[in-house]
Amino acid sequence: MDLSVILRTVGSLALISGALSIIISLSEMVLNNYGTVELDINNGDRKLSVKGGSSLLSTLAGEKVFIPSACGGKATCGLCKVGILDGAGPIALTEEPYLTQEDRASNLRLSCQVKVKTNMRLLIPEDLFNIREYLCELEEIEDLTYDIKRLYLKLPQDQTINFKAGQFMQFYSRPYGKIKEEVFRAYSISSKSSQHDHVELLIRLVPNGIVTTYVHTALSVGDTVRLSGPYGDFYLRGDAEELIMIAGGSGLAPIRSLVYEVIEKGLPHKMRFFFGANKLRDLFYLEEFARIEQEHPNFKFIPCLAFPEPEDNWQGETGFVTVALEKHVDSGENREAYLCGSPGMLDACIKILKDKGFPDSKIFFDKF
C-alpha cells in the first residue's frame, strides 16, 4: 500500500478516536451533572444543599461532616457506614462483604460507595457532628524503630481536641511524587487524652503505601498536616477488675493512651500489657513502660520477642505473644481485653482469649 494512503488512514483513525473521546467526556459531563441535591439528616435536624456527582463520603466531608474512614474510600475498611432511608440506589458489589443482616435492616450503607445523585434522607450518629478538622504544625518527627516514626503535632492556637483514649484520627497526605491527590488514612492517637493541644501518632512504613511513604519520606518539621477526628469505638469500658492489653508494632499507639488514661484518672484497674515483636530492633518505648511499671504496681509490662537475635541478649519472654498469653492469663473472669495490631496476630490472640472464657462483649480491638 502506498505511504500516503497509510498516512491518510492513520490520520482518519486519530480524528475518529479524538472525536469519540470528546463525545464520551461530554456525555460524562451531562450524565454526571446531577445539579443541586438536598440531603436531609436525622429527620430534618440538618439540611444540606450539595452538588451531586461525588460519593456521599466526600460530599459530606465537603460540608465538614466527617464520617469515619480508614481506607480513604477504597471499600476496604467498612468504617464509613451511614443510614440512608432514601436515595441510595441498589447495594453495590463492593459493599456486599461489609453489610451484615442487621446493617441492611437498619438501611446502613458504605458512604464511600454511594454516589449522591438525588435527594437523600440520612441517619448520622450525633457524635459524628463533634468531629473537627485541624490544620496542625508538625513539631517533632523521629524514628522509634527502623520502620516506625513518631509524629508530634501541634493543633492550631484556637483549637483543642477532646478524645477518648484508644480513638483515631484521619491523616491527609498532600500530593507528592506520582501521587497527584490528597489521600487519607486512619492513625490511632498515642498521646494522653488529658492533652488537648497536641496529638502524637506512631506511623509504621508500609512498603509502597501511599500515606506511610509520604510520612516517612516527604514530611518534615514545620510542615502543616491536616487531620480530622476523633473517630472510633475502641476506648476504655473499664467494667472489670483487670485489663489485658495486647499490641504489636504501631498497635502500641492506642494502648499507650489507654494506659495513661487509667493512671491519670486514678482508676482501680490492674493492667497487663503484652507487647509482641519479632526482634529487639522492633521494640520501642521500653524505658517508658518499664518506668510506668516501677511507679504503678497495678501495671505489668510483658514484651515478647518471637525471633530474638543472639546479640539481642534478650532476657524477656520469647515466642509469639500468644505463647505469653497462654502462660500468663488463666481465665477471662473479671477481665476485659484490649487488642491492637495486625489481623493475623489479633485473630490468634482472640481465639486464645475466648478459649479462656472471655466473652465477645469483653474483647475490644482495632485491627490494622
Ligand X SMILES: Cc1cc2nc3c(=O)[nH]c(=O)nc-3n(C[C@H](O)[C@H](O)[C@H](O)COP(=O)(O)OP(=O)(O)OC[C@H]3O[C@@H](n4cnc5c(N)ncnc54)[C@H](O)[C@@H]3O)c2cc1C
Binding site for ligand X (CB under 6 A): 70, 77, 168, 185-188, 202-204, 206, 208-212, 232, 250, 253, 366, 368
Q: Please identify which residue in 41, 80, 186, 201 interacts with ligand FES, judged by CB under 6 A.
A: 80
Across the beta sheet with 335-341, what order do the strands follow? Answer: 317-318, 299-305, 270-277, 242-248, 335-341, 363-367
202 binds, among ligand X, ligand FES, none (CB under 5 to 8 A by kind): ligand X
Across the beta sheet with 148-154, what order do the strands follow? Answer: 183-188, 168-173, 224-231, 132-143, 148-154, 198-204
Residue 232: φ, ψ to 5°: 105, 155
Pairing of strands 168-173, 183-188: antiparallel
Q: How far does CA 80 lie from the centroid of its chain?
A: 11
Q: Between residue 36 and residue 75, which ones bind ligand FES under the rule CB under 6 A?
A: 57, 69-71, 73, 75
Please choose, out of 41-49, 77-85, 266-274, 330-338, the segment that lies near ligand FES by the rule CB under 6 A. Answer: 77-85
Q: Minimum distance from CB of 262 to ligand X (Å)? A: 19
Q: Minimum distance from CB of 27 to ligand X (Å)? A: 32
212 binds, among ligand FES, ligand X, none (CB under 5 to 8 A by kind): ligand X
Per CB under 6 A, 110 contacts ligand FES: yes
Q: How far is CA 102 from CA 98, 99, 107, 207, in A?
A: 11, 8, 9, 36
How many residues touch ligand FES under the rule CB under 6 A: the total is 13
Residues in Cβ contact with 85 at an 8 Å cutoff, skipping those fewer than 6 apart: 107, 120, 121, 122, 123
What distance in Å separates the CA atoms of residue 70 and residue 76, rounded to the nearest whole number? 8
The DSSP letter of residue 206 is: P
By C-beta, is 92 or 144 nearer to ligand X?
Answer: 144
Q: Minimum distance from CB of 247 to ligand X (Å)? A: 10
By C-beta, is 70 or 108 nearer to ligand FES?
Answer: 70
293 in Cβ contact with 272 (< 8 Å): no
By C-beta, is 155 or 329 nearer to ligand X?
Answer: 155
What distance in Å separates the CA atoms of residue 40 and residue 3, rounded to the nearest whole number? 64
By C-beta, is 5 or 93 nearer to ligand FES?
Answer: 93
Q: Between residue 111 and residue 170, which ones bind ligand FES under the rule CB under 6 A?
A: 112
The closest residue (CB) to ligand FES is 112
Question: What are the residues facing 338 on neighbouring strands?
Answer: 245, 364
78 binds, among ligand FES, ligand X, none (CB under 5 to 8 A by kind): ligand FES
The three cell numbers locating residue 186: 486512619
186 binds, among ligand X, ligand FES, none (CB under 5 to 8 A by kind): ligand X
Site for ligand FES, rule CB under 6 A: 57, 69-71, 73, 75-80, 110, 112
